[in-house]
């Protein structure tokens, strides 16, 4: 942790205290984070953490994303955190990695400022973690492509204004071959939000089903190479899974901190809950697991920063974090007793939000398969 990373952490916590905690309940009710709040984050520089300095960003690497995501996890409003992290670490990196100079000049400054909020449209109703199973297709049409199909569970899909869409462009290719990424703008004819989805958690993030009905996308909006989109998707999955793990660590630590405070103040049978050995030992064990996972997360981020192949480590990290955050939330809600079941308490919301940790960005079972393929031969 150098001074720059400590500053990112402190600044993120300050933003959460000033803007997120006072208004987060309203965002949960509205089902979205206000655009002016996101533009404030752009003004501060949060959206440029991973953008090179010569392109108007800060020029940091995976360690900064890990710090940022963990700090966002402490907000107790993980729908807000998801809105931000999809923009910074899951969607916009596709433009940075594969965009040509014209595309970067056209879109990147407004991505950094928060005037454009991005989404990544890969998942389909019948093809979640199985990217190779996607059915959305694009066919050549003049100086462009006709896009048909749909995407499901797209964060920032309702109110986002720049969407990176994966579609099959070679129907003869099998599996992961023949997939291309496109830059879609919401005003393109034939594009629509099929429906805004009502979710179990992450309620302050807008999530949509997207429909493409003969959408004509100009060739200038092809992102990267035709038929090579799968490899771009896989490349960014490592960063996506890293930040989701860091988010889960931040959520877990905040839940434990809230529960430490609650159990030290709540009295039962003549003593505080924390005086009960079984309670403080279960909390201590969870704290040890969180501390160990945090060390693993930062070690993995450092290795990614050195350019190492970390698919196995990232998959292990994502699997462990998704399961741990659910273990933490179950115990912390349990120790809050009846109040933990009330929607007025942060722990109830955090319990709901945590469930996606073992599903989104690569389900635990998929991550374990990635680990197994690289461990036992």
Q: Does domain 3-117 have CATH number 3.40.47.10?
A: no
Query: pLDDT tens digits, residue range 215-273?
Result: 999 999 999 999 888 888 888 889 999 999 999 999 999 999 999 999 999 988 889 99
Are 88 and 143 in contact by the 8 Å Cβ rule? The answer is: no
Is the pLDDT assigned to residue 134 strictly greater than 90?
A: no
Is the pLDDT assigned to residue 170 strictly greater than 80?
A: yes
Is the pLDDT assigned to residue 210 strictly greater than 80?
A: yes
Query: pLDDT tens digits, residue range 342-374?
Result: 998 999 999 999 999 999 999 999 999 999 999
CB atoms within 10 A of CB 1: 10
Listed by start position, the domains of the chain span 3-117, 119-227, 230-375
Handedness of CA 110, 193, 88, 332 (dihedral sign): positive
CA 245 to CA 134: how far, in whole Å? Answer: 25
Query: pLDDT tens digits, residue range 3-30?
Result: 999 999 999 999 999 999 999 999 999 9
Longest dimension (CA), the chain: 79
Nearest to 161 by CA among 183, 145, 138: 183
CA 212 to CA 139: how far, in whole Å? Answer: 13
Split at pLDDT 50, 70, 90, the class of 125 is: confident
Are 304 and 293 in contact by the 8 Å Cβ rule? The answer is: no
Is the pLDDT assigned to residue 126 strictly greater than 90?
A: no
CA 355 to CA 350: how far, in whole Å? Answer: 9
Is the pLDDT assigned to residue 129 strictly greater than 70?
A: no
Give the per-residue pLDDT at 377.
64
Give the per-residue pLDDT at 136.
93
Give the per-residue pLDDT at 353.
97
Fold of 119-227: Butyryl-CoA Dehydrogenase, subunit A; domain 2 (2.40.110)
Is the pLDDT assigned to residue 288 strictly greater than 70?
A: yes
185 in active site: no
**Mean per-residue pLDDT, 179-190:** 94
Query: Could you tell me the CATH superfamily of domain 230-375?
Result: Butyryl-CoA Dehydrogenase, subunit A, domain 3 (1.20.140.10)
Split at pLDDT 50, 70, 90, the class of 325 is: very high
CA 267 to chain CA mean position, Å: 38
Measured in degrees and rounded to the nearest 5, phi and psi for residue 224 equal: 80, -155
Domain 119-227 shares a fold with domain 230-375? no
Q: What angle do CA 295, 363, 166 make, to 5 degrees?
A: 110
**Mean per-residue pLDDT, 125-137:** 77
Q: Considering 209, 240, 254, 370, which one is annotated as catalytic?
A: 240
Give the per-residue pLDDT at 176.
75
Give the per-residue pLDDT at 128.
63
Percent of the chain with pLDDT over 70: 98
pTM across the whole model: 0.94
**Mean per-residue pLDDT, 182-201:** 94
């Amino acid at each position: 942790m150098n001074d720059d990373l400590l500053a990112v952490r402190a600044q993120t916590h300050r933003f959460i205290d000033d803007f997120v905690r006072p208004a987060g309940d309203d965002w949960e009710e509205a089902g979205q984070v206000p655009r002016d709040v996101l533009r404030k984050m752009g003004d501060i520089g949060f959206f440029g953490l991973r953008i090179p300095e010569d392109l108007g960003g800060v020029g940091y690497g995976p360690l900064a994303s890990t710090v940022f995501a963990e700090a966002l996890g402490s907000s107790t409003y993980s729908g807000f955190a998801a809105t931000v992290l999809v923009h910074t670490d899951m969607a916009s990196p596709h433009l940075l990695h594969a965009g040509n100079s014209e595309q970067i000049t056209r879109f990147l400054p407004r991505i950094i400022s928060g005037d454009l909020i991005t989404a990544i449209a890969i998942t389909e109703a019948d093809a979640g973690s199985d990217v190779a199973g996607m059915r959305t297709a694009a066919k050549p049409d003049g100086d462009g492509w006709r896009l048909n199909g749909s995407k499901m569970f797209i964060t920032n899909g309702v109110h986002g204004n720049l969407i990176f869409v994966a579609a099959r462009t070679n129907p003869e290719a099998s599996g992961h071959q023949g997939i291309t990424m496109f830059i879609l703008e919401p005003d393109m004819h034939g594009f629509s939000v099929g429906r805004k989805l009502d979710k179990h958690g992450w309620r302050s993030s807008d999530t949509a089903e997207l429909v493409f009905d003969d959408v004509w996308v100009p060739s200038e909006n092809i992102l990267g190479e035709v038929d090579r989109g799968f490899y771009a998707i896989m490349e960014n999955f490592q960063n996506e899974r890293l930040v989701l793990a860091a988010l889960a660590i931040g959520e877990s630590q905040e839940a434990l901190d809230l529960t430490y405070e609650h159990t030290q103040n709540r009295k039962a049978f003549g003593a505080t809950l924390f005086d009960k050995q079984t309670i403080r030992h279960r909390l201590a064990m969870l704290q040890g697991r969180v501390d160990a996972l945090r060390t693993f997360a930062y070690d993995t981020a450092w290795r990614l920063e050195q350019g190492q192949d970390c698919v196995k480590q990232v998959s292990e990290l994502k699997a462990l974090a998704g399961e741990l955050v659910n273990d933490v939330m179950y115990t912390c809600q349990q120790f809050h007793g009846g109040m933990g079941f009330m929607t007025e308490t942060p722990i109830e919301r955090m319990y709901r939000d945590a469930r996606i940790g073992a599903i989104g960005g690569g389900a635990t079972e998929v991550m374990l398969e990635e680990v197994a393929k690289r461990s036992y031969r």
